[in-house]
Amino acid sequence: MLAVVSGSLLLCGTDLTVLHVAVPRMSRELEPSPAQLLWIVDVYSLTLAALLVTCGTLGDRIGRRRMVLSGFFTFGLASTACAFSATTAQLIAARAALGVGAAMIMASTVAIIRVVFTDDRERAVAIGIWTAAHSVGATIGPLVGGIVTEKWGWGAVFLINVPVIVVILAVGAKVIPESRNPLPRRWDVASVALSVTGLAGVVYALKQAGEHAGVDGVILATAAGGALLLFVFVRRQRRIPEPLLDFSLFHERRFTTATLCVIGCFGSYVALLFFLTQWLQQVGGYSPLRAGLALMPLAGANAVGAVTAPWAANRWGNRWALTAALGLFAAAMAVIALTGDTGRYGALLVPLLCAGYGAGIVMTLGADSIMSAAQPERSGEAAAIQETSFELGSGLGVAVLGTVLTAAYRTGLPSVPGLGGDERATAEKSYAAVEELAPHLPARTADALLQAGRHAYDRGFTAVTTIAALGLAGTALLAALMLRPRPADE
């Protein structure tokens, strides 16, 4: 049973990062706008974050086995739809459906583990394996994506899910026991609608602002509407007797701080994976496989950091280990930003190792700090927020930093002699658009445009890593100041 639920989490983790390496080839075929490209990448994690707690509550009511098997089926069907998407809109919708399936799987499998493994020690080991499976999937995603994309094309990164899901579905139907909560919480549809539409509105406005290099009335209205819906959502959670998310947990400063550390760290880590992958292929000329291999030191160091995090916590305590790891991650991002010539992979190797190692420690100790800051009787609600924070960090990291990169690229594209106004507008969309446009231009103009595009993407990547470094440094300071133990614990 544990092998089945852990295998499903491996797939969920893999789908978080497997598309990163396939994006350049997919972009050349579907030609998405910069905002659409960001939706393709992060709609999966945003949907997963928005529905994780909801699916857990629904599984408590209708049966966790039924929910997880339905999740397997949805995940497999959505994977097939992603693979055969012929338009950008179809792929975005299919990726959102993939997030729905992943939310059904993740929310139900952790509840099943808690029911099946009644011994505290066995349950801790099982949850550790379950969590590690998701991390391993996210780690190997770029490499798997590189191998599959190079051999069979971008759609194949989704098709590899299907045979695995068929096996998991067949075995899971036999070995996963049914369980329900005898006193389930009320399923609050209004809260679900408020959180999903509010988050979508804010993220949409962010991406549109980046694509259009500014804001207009529609963007401002969308952002304000989304923010208002999120405000109403939070107010509702504080007033109803059975909230979707228990915001009273955030009254504990250590809980709030640890959650912010996880969101900031995981958002920066996934954004680094995504944007570095794009640079290596589009500007550096790497093949998908070579780009996937180039990211393995980052992913490997992340795994080492996760494994050695308990040792660091035992030696220095969670507070200072988290602070130091966030500082290391921030310093690594600053070095990447200052390197300038990101085409020299050798210059990036050491900061990538440091970034991965620091992020691995933060992810592990941040999750532990979230759980330890909550009262034991509220561990279920704390776990729900912990799981949501990782997925929300992933989605927001790509959305926010992607908006920064898009705006920096557009404003940083130098003038190119011989390039017409319409051609300039096309080139400002993305570096992929530059590659598509260049073959149709005179040789001298094409060479100048490609060089200008590389310069603009370098500028955008530098802006992303600089802002991430500053954000991580601020988070490190926050951890140092706010993760002090309570007087009773000292």
Number of H helices and number of E strands within the chain?
A: 17, 0
* Helices 253-278, 2-30: crossing angle, 10 deg rounding: 50
Please tell me what DSSP assigns to residue 438.
Answer: G
- The predicted pLDDT at position 100 comes to 93
CA angle 286, 287, 291 (to 5 degrees): 65
Structure token pair of residue 82:
């992603």
**What are the pLDDT tens digits along the chain (490 aa)?**
778 888 888 888 888 788 888 888 898 888 888 888 889 988 998 898 888 888 888 888 888 889 989 999 999 999 999 999 999 999 999 999 999 998 888 888 877 877 788 777 777 677 767 777 877 888 788 889 999 998 899 999 999 889 999 999 999 888 888 887 777 677 788 888 998 899 888 888 888 877 666 667 888 999 999 999 999 999 998 888 888 777 888 888 999 999 999 999 999 998 998 888 888 888 788 888 888 888 889 888 988 888 888 899 889 988 999 999 999 999 999 999 988 555 577 788 899 999 999 999 998 888 888 878 877 666 667 777 888 888 888 888 888 898 899 888 888 888 888 888 888 888 888 888 888 888 888 888 889 998 898 888 888 999 999 999 999 999 999 999 998 776 555 4
For the residues of 451-478, what is the DSSP string, one character each?
A: HHHHHHHHHHHHHHHHHHHHHHHHHHHH
Q: What is the pLDDT of residue 474?
A: 96
Asked if 202 and 64 count as a contact pair (C-beta separation under 8 A), the reply is no
DSSP string, 325-372: HHHHHHHHHHHHHHH--TT-HHHHHHHHHHHHHHHHHHHHHHHHHHHH
- 45: Cα separation from own chain's centroid: 5
**Angle of CA points 409, 412, 413, to nearest 5°:** 85
**CA 378 to chain CA centroid, nearest Å:** 26
3-state secondary structure of 308: helix
Compute φ and ψ for 344, nearest 5 degrees.
-85, 95
79, 84, 89: which is closest to 32 by C-alpha? 89
Nearest Cα neighbor of 364 from 469, 272, 262 is 262
Quick check: helix, strand or coil at residue 376? helix
The Cα–Cα gap between 261 and 481 comes to 13
Distance, in Å, from the CA atom of 38 to the CA atom of 88, rounded to the nearest integer, reads 11
pLDDT tens-digit readout, 375-386: 766 666 777 788
Domains and CATH numbers, the chain: 1-186 (1.20.1250.20), 189-241 (no CATH), 250-490 (1.20.1250.20)
Q: What is residue 341's predicted lDDT score, i.e. its pLDDT?
A: 56
Question: Exposure of 317 by Cβ count < 10 A (0-12 exposed, 13-18 middle, 19+ buried)?
Answer: middle
> How far, in Å, CA of 463 to CA of 458, rounded?
9
At 216 the pLDDT is: 73
For residue 490, the model assigns a pLDDT of 46
Whole-number pLDDT of residue 346? 79
pTM of the model: 0.86
